[in-house]
Structure 1
């Protein structure tokens, strides 16, 4: 592993540690070097290293056990290598958006065949929580409600393979979507299109639902491109 000197040290450290896991062919359950050892190897502070390890844990790559250490978890078979620097973040997120658009619109088409009135009630509840959280500037709750809304659609699609791919991609990139470029409100403009998407699902109108989803994605795409 090499010393790190650029921005976003915690993210870069995470990629270096992941590279170490792969190069050393560490298996599930094997322990990583101590925090002190990793900090010395990467030449970064312990707080930055802990942030990197927490990022890997959120992606399901390692497990942090207090007082015992950090252990390798089973690497997701759909994991995609994503080494990049801050200058590429905008391009990276736009590419992720393209992938999400392709996968989720198919999930919507499948979900419409299976959606029931009780599912609409659940989806509506998630959007109500989302809206309430935004009004109170509770970003953590808003993100959870938004994720739950989309995950319910994946579930309704009834295609386990598609669902596993979407969730694998979501797990991998979640840390970048939560607060890209350090901005909390970048995706707020997409909220109204969630309501239109729900209406399409409720009416079992595939064209309406897919169009609402495209508008949702385009609003996010526009917000990302607006950042300089």
Structure 2
């Protein structure tokens, strides 16, 4: 049986789509395309990814390429494959994410958190300083909006984890260097994945709450030294609470 004109045309379009990606960096480009696809689909940590066939059709690539990309993501700790169930997202990713796997031994949780905090301190303090120097008026409005929400939630509930993160992400964005947000988002995720145990106390780092407003004021004044100092105060309290709560 000879294929009809419609089938031939569909095959041509499919083959044209398949050759768009150069073979030398095909996997890297498909990796980027898959991250964009996952981001646009609104998938979050714990969600199941589409099937291999669905990914093949969506990305216009073959099964071996899809499996190679998923294998890379699995090695990086981005996804997890469960036999008979599917592939699940272990961390939320977007089109600008840098896949930086953070492997930490959890036998001594206190040491792990303090080591992570040491790295965060070096990057996060500099992000605050850069935000003070580079922020635009629009950046400042976004930071203040996030801060206002954080303060309302904190005063109502005594804790504001998600709102706190949103405030700091707005500061990272104000640096206009995407690496700050990409790296620190993964550092914070690695740090905060332990919050359920043993740090499920609502008063964790509560003493740092006032310094978020003073950090904002330093950024508003374009005072990079002040922004560094206020960020150090916040992280210093986090360190003190980790030591106190893990005694």
On whether the aligned pair clears a TM of 0.5, the verdict is: yes
1:71 lines up with 2:87 in the alignment: yes
Identify the residue that residue 42 of structure 2 maps to in structure 1. none
Cα distance in structure 1, aligned partners of 2:207 and 2:172: 22
Q: Secondary structure at the match of 2:87?
A: strand
Deviations 1:23-66 (A, max 9, x none): xxx85557xxxxxxxxxxxxxxxxxxxxxxxxx9xx743389xx
Instruction: Name the structure 2 match of 1:185.
Output: 203
In 2, the alpha carbon distance for the partners of 1:109 and 1:77 equals: 25
SS of alignment partner, residue 176 of structure 1: coil
| 1:124 maps to 2:140 | no
How far is the alpha carbon of 1:79 from its aligned partner?
0.5
Q: In structure 2, the residue corresponding to 1:155 is in which secondary structure?
A: helix
Cα distance in structure 2, aligned partners of 1:81 and 1:95:
12
Structure 1 position 215 matched with structure 2 position 233: yes
Distance (Å, rounded) in 2 between the aligned partners of 1:178 and 1:170: 14
Q: Secondary structure, in 3 states, of the residue corresponding to 1:181?
A: coil
5 Å matches for 1:43-192?
A: 60-62=78-80, 69-71=85-87, 77-85=99-107, 88-137=108-157, 139=159, 142-177=160-195, 180-192=198-210
> What is the TM-score when the length of structure 1 is the normalising length?
0.64
> Which structure 1 segments of 5+ residues have no match?
1-25, 31-55
- Cα shift readout 1:168-189 (whole Å, capped 9, x = no counterpart): 2223333224765332221111
Q: Does the aligned pair in 2 maintain the 1:27–1:72 contact within 8 Å?
A: no
Q: Flag the 1:28–1:83 CA change in 2: closer, same or farther, 3 A.
A: farther
Quote the Cα distance in structure 2 between the aligned partners of 1:99 and 1:218. Answer: 13
The CA deviation string for residues 166-215 of structure 1, in whole angstroms up to 9 with x for no partner, is 22222333322476533222111111111111010000011111111111
Q: From the superposition, tell whether residues 27 and 177 of structure 1 become closer, same or farther in structure 2 (CA, over 3 Å).
A: farther
Change (3 A) 1:172 1:219: closer
Cα pair 2:146 2:170 within 8 Å, conserved: no
1:62-115 Cα distance to aligned partner (Å, 9 max, x none): 389xxx724155997410212313xx1122111111111101111122212221
2:195 and 2:90 map into 1 onto residues whose CA distance is 23
Larger Rg: 2
Q: TM-score, normalised by structure 2?
A: 0.59
What is the alpha-carbon distance in structure 1 between the residues aligned to residue 104 and residue 142 of structure 2? Answer: 34
Can you give the 5+ residue segments of structure 2 that lack an aligned partner in the other structure? 1-66, 92-97
**Alpha carbons of 1:92 and 1:146: their partners in 2 closer, same or farther (altered >3 Å)?**
same
How many angstroms apart in 1 are the aligned matches of 2:81 and 2:127?
Answer: 31
